[in-house]
Chain A
Amino acid sequence: MNWVQLLVDALSLGGAYALVALGIGLVFGVMRMINFAHGDLITIGAYALVVPSAAEVAEPYLGAFSVWLMVPMTIGFVVLMMLATERFAFRPLRERHADGASLLISSFAISFLIQNVILFIHTGRPKSVNILDGLRGYVSVGDVRLPLIDIVTVAVTAVLFILLVVFLGFTRPGREIRSASEDFVMARLLGVKANRVIAYAFAVSGVLAGAVSLLYVAKTGVLDYRMGVPLAIAGFVGTVLGGIGSLWGAMMGGLTLGFASAFLQALLPPELRASRDAFLYGLVVLVLLVRPQGIFSSSKRLERI
């Protein structure tokens, strides 16, 4: 395998993981809760591309629209579902001052609920769907052919990260999210509305999840009712690896995980490749043993807590 190819591969996988990690990290910031249903909202976005049915051959639904409609409609749908999850699964618990464990269990319940509803409607048979056919091609760099979708994934990750930085840094909702992420109680004392700031975080998290839905389906062309689960785990590991509570850390953690995964895939002897994830997550454990606060978080912050 060529090095350029490997690098693009790693960046593309890392970019997708980083988008998931950022989505999970944003919600974690304001609510101190890992939303394990995040991956299943990615699944929901992917399934929104086809007509709900048990038929063997999937008929495109949102996937039938032109790019300029399909992209905003898919992302918008995931945002709405994300907000609905917050409104009906988490807010009632928060308002009754449920503790963190209850919220976490609720997010697991939502995850299984979504999977089983999709299983019920679409059956468990993987479906194939073609979207964004234009990304199916290759770009030649010298004598290597790079899949266009991987380059687009890297570009989309970069653009979304920049937009996120601008949003958090220079808009009112962004400032509210940052203040609430740092000190939720104080932010409330100063007049920041709890439900509103949490809804902002879920909405942005939904945009990121929707983007991942599209990129993932464009790359694989396959829908599966559990497709979001490994993504959520990778994203969660990414946030912890990067240093939980920091968005920069989530981004870098996701990228690192993608890099490690791609490099293991390329460099492990062929007979061990099937157990790549064992090596990958074994490495994660090792890294956390050495740096429990994450790779990209300063130890100073840990002390301050």
Chain B
Amino acid sequence: MSARLTTQSVTVRFHGLTALEDVSISLDQGEILGLLGPNGAGKTTLVNVLSGFTRPSGGTVKVNEIDLTRARPDVLARRGIVRTFQSVRLFQRMTVRENVQVPVFAHHAGSVEGEQAAQRALEFVGLAEESDRIAGSLPYTQERLVGIARALALEPKFLMLDEPAAGMNDVEGAQLVELIARIPAQYGCGVLLIEHNMPVVMAVCERLHVLRGGRTLASGPREEIRRNPDVIESYLGGH
């Protein structure tokens, strides 16, 4: 059965500041949902809630009917909810392969399956040839790909990519689009893509969710969002 990750009216307050208010999203296995919004709109906070790094002040996180609102990150990762980090922070002195293996083995995969999963993820992002290189010697773009491989090696049901195209040029961005578009077919997972780079988002997401000031501004199919006057005014206007 295909699973669905949902948040229901999630609210997050830090010391009286409201970072998220009443945000409900849903992500199906096999689809790519774009999460848009200006800086400070609450995108990363939402990912933190979904991956267990932040406990919401209100609302629920569920996979199908299973409530995972208060689950810890490692529990969520074992249930197939996995994320990448905006700052990739590879272990510079370890090889590319080891970087991908660390999370796999930390989540109790057996040795053989773990190594195979890491290998598949490296092949998928096109870094199989580089797997014995020391991560500190990789160019920036490839570092980000290792970050994605690190998450994919856990064979997630739901993958959250936090600004994977940050700092990439147009060519690299286009290659990344092509890669992300292949993830659902290859891994059968749902992808939540947080991204500032509009061409990337528009190329790869059929459905978009737009946040502003911690609230949902709009949510729907790509074409509808593209024409939404609120979105154009607050976010797309400059583009």
B is a partner of A: yes
A contacts, CB < 8 Å to B: 172, 175-176, 178-179, 182-183, 186-187, 189-193, 304
Count of B interface residues, CB-CB < 8 Å: 19
Q: A172-B111, A175-B98, A179-B94 are in contact. Are A191 and B103 (CB under 8 A)?
A: yes
Distance between A191 CB and nearest chain B CB, rounded to angstroms: 4
Distance between B106 CB and nearest chain A CB, rounded to angstroms: 4
Distance between B49 CB and nearest chain A CB, rounded to angstroms: 15
- Most chain A Cβ neighbours within 10 Å, of B73, B74, B106: B106
Query: B140 contacts the other chain (Cβ, under 8 Å)?
Result: no
Query: B105 contacts the other chain (Cβ, under 8 Å)?
Result: yes
B93 with A182: CB separation less than 8 A: yes
A175 with B93: CB separation less than 8 A: no
B106 with A186: CB separation less than 8 A: no
- Most chain A Cβ neighbours within 10 Å, of B77, B103, B150: B103
Residues in B with CB closer than 8 Å to A191 are 73-74, 77, 103, 106-107
Residues in B with CB closer than 8 Å to A172 are 105, 111
10 closest Cβ contacts across the A-B interface? A191-B106, A190-B103, A182-B91, A192-B106, A186-B89, A179-B102, A172-B105, A179-B91, A191-B74, A191-B107
Residues in A with CB closer than 8 Å to B103 are 190-192
Query: B92 contacts the other chain (Cβ, under 8 Å)?
Result: yes
Query: B85 contacts the other chain (Cβ, under 8 Å)?
Result: yes
Residues in B with CB closer than 8 Å to A187 are 91, 102, 106
Within 8 A of A (CB), among B116-156: 150
B contacts, CB < 8 Å to A: 53, 73-74, 77, 85, 89, 91-94, 98, 101-103, 105-107, 111, 150
Closest residue of A by beta carbon distance from B136? A304
Closest residue of B by beta carbon distance from A300? B136
Distance between B97 CB and nearest chain A CB, rounded to angstroms: 10
Q: A172-B111, A191-B73, A191-B74 are in contact. Are A178 and B91 (CB under 8 A)?
A: yes
Distance between A121 CB and nearest chain B CB, rounded to angstroms: 42
Residues in B with CB closer than 8 Å to A176 are 102, 105-106
- Most chain A Cβ neighbours within 10 Å, of B85, B92, B102: B102
Distance between B119 CB and nearest chain A CB, rounded to angstroms: 15
Residues in A with CB closer than 8 Å to B101 are 175
Residues in A with CB closer than 8 Å to B73 are 189, 191
Distance between B73 CB and nearest chain A CB, rounded to angstroms: 7
Q: Could you say which of A182, A189, A192, A304 contacts B94, with CB atoms under 8 Å apart? A: A182
- Most chain B Cβ neighbours within 10 Å, of A176, A179, A183, A190: A190
Q: In the assembly, what is the distance between CA of A187 and CA of B107, in Å? A: 12
Q: In the assembly, what is the distance between CA of A190 and CA of B94, in Å? A: 15
Closest residue of B by beta carbon distance from A193? B106
Closest residue of B by beta carbon distance from A246? B93
A-B CB contact pairs (8 Å), 30 listed: A172-B105, A172-B111, A175-B94, A175-B101, A176-B102, A176-B105, A176-B106, A178-B91, A178-B93, A178-B98, A179-B91, A179-B94, A179-B98, A179-B102, A182-B91, A182-B92, A183-B89, A186-B89, A187-B91, A187-B102, A189-B53, A189-B73, A189-B85, A190-B102, A191-B74, A191-B103, A191-B107, A193-B74, A193-B106, A304-B92
Q: A172-B111, A183-B89, A191-B73 are in contact. Are A178 and B106 (CB under 8 A)?
A: no
- Most chain A Cβ neighbours within 10 Å, of B89, B91, B103, B150: B91
Residues in B with CB closer than 8 Å to A304 are 92
Closest residue of B by beta carbon distance from A185? B89
Q: In the assembly, what is the distance between CA of A182 and CA of B95, in Å? A: 13
Q: In the assembly, what is the distance between CA of A269 and CA of B151, in Å? A: 63
B150 with A190: CB separation less than 8 A: yes
Distance between A301 CB and nearest chain B CB, rounded to angstroms: 9
Residues in B with CB closer than 8 Å to A192 are 102-103, 106
Residues in A with CB closer than 8 Å to B107 are 191
Q: In the assembly, what is the distance between CA of A154 and CA of B103, in Å? A: 37
A175 with B89: CB separation less than 8 A: no
Residues in B with CB closer than 8 Å to A175 are 94, 98, 101-102, 105
Q: In the assembly, what is the distance between CA of A59 and CA of B103, in Å? A: 50
- Additional pairs, 12, CB under 8 Å, beyond known A175-B102, A178-B94, A193-B74: A172-B105, A175-B94, A175-B105, A176-B106, A182-B94, A183-B89, A186-B85, A190-B103, A190-B106, A191-B74, A192-B102, A192-B106
